[in-house]
Amino acid sequence: MKRFSFFVFVIIFWLAACIPVTGSESPLPTLLPPETSTPLVQENNLVIYRDTKNKFEITYSKDIFTPDIENSSADLLVLILDIGKLFAGKNLENVTVRISASPVCRYKDIYYENTFTGEETLNNINFSVYSTRDAGTFSNVFETLTYQTYYNDLCYEIHLNIREYSLTAFPDVSEYDPEVIIIEFKNLLGTFKFIE
């Protein structure tokens, strides 16, 4: 009888040790984002970039954009569009998007009176839109498209910069489709929002 009682005690002890206790366990500690910009990787190849200092977030596809860590800062996120994947063999040299927040607008010096193209509302945010195109050199053409808005005494700008090879200087290179870049840029713009 003592042996049987001991055997039952061992089985009950073993079962009690193996069954997890629910409700009383403390959850594992989670890492809180720092007070500056934080990329948070999500499923389906999308990255939510949340800037808690400047109170905004934007979501980009890591299949299309790569962060330029070297040229980014606390008030500036630089994304490089993968032209090799989308425009292999075309006349594109470089496509970047810069998302900035600053008391003074970063790109105001490139705006001339005739560069304002109108206003657009995205996610209930009113943007002023500016566009320039300049054949800066014989071999290159520069194009910019900037969406600018003000919020809490800061100037927010989402700035598309396209640098292409001139077809005059490189006649053997085929021309890229600018509509593809605009679609990807507009997809990015559509995710921009302010966070409280």
Other CB atoms within 10 Å distance of the CB of residue 27: 5
* Per-residue pLDDT reduced to its tens digit, 91-129: 999 999 999 999 988 776 666 566 888 899 999 999 999
Q: Would you state the CATH architecture of domain 37-194?
A: Sandwich (2.60)
* Percentage of residues of the chain with pLDDT beyond 90: 57
- Taking 80 as the threshold, does the pLDDT of residue 9 lie above it? no
> By the 8 A CB rule, do 93 and 140 touch?
yes
Gyration radius (Cα) of the chain, Å: 26
**Average pLDDT of 144-168?**
93
CB 87 within 8 A of CB 174: no
Q: What is the mean pLDDT of residues 159-172?
A: 90
C-alpha distances (whole Å) from 165 to each of 2, 124, 135, 141, 176 are 91, 37, 10, 6, 10
Whether 23 shows a pLDDT value over 70: the answer reads no
pLDDT of residue 113: 60
Q: Domain coordinates of the chain in residue numbers? A: 37-194
Mean pLDDT (the chain) is 81
Cβ atoms of 62 and 82 closer than 8 Å: no
Q: For residue range 30-62, what is the model confidence (pLDDT) as tens digits?
A: 333 344 455 555 557 999 999 999 999 999 999
